[in-house]
Amino acid sequence: MSERTLSQYQREVDAWIRTVGIRYFSELTNTAVLMEEVGELARLMSRTYGDQSFKEGEDRDLGMEMADVLFVLICLAVSYTHLTLPTKRIV
C-alpha cells in the first residue's frame, strides 16, 4: 500500500463531501466540530493512558478518533483552497 499525500487526502475528502456529504460546513462550524473531535480524542487518551477509567461500552478506538480530527482538519484545509503544509516550518 502506498502512502498518500495531503493533496490526495484533500481530493478524496472533497469527492466524498460532494457526492455523499452534500456540502461543506462553514469554517466556523468546522472549527467547532474540530474542537469537539479533539475533546473526544482527549477523553479517550485520558482513559487509555491517564488516571480515568473506561465506562462500560465506551469506544476505545484511538485511531478512529484521530481519523475524525484529521478529517475535519482536511475539510478546513480544502475550505482554504487546498492548503498545503509548510513542512519546512513544522518539521
Transcribe 12-25 into DSSP letters: HHHHHIIIII-SPP
- Side-chain half-sphere exposure of 71, counting CA atoms within 13 A: 16
Task: State yes or no: pLDDT of 31 exceeds 90.
Answer: yes
Q: Give residue 29's pLDDT.
A: 93
Q: What distance, in Å, lies between the first and last C-alpha atoms of the chain?
A: 24
Q: What is the pLDDT of residue 82?
A: 56
pTM for the model stands at 0.79
Query: Residue 18: phi, psi to the nearest 5?
Result: -70, -25
pLDDT digits (tens, 9 = 90+) for 34-83: 999 999 999 999 999 999 888 888 888 999 999 999 999 999 888 766 56
State residue 90's pLDDT score: 56
Largest CA-CA distance found in the chain, in angstroms, rounded: 44
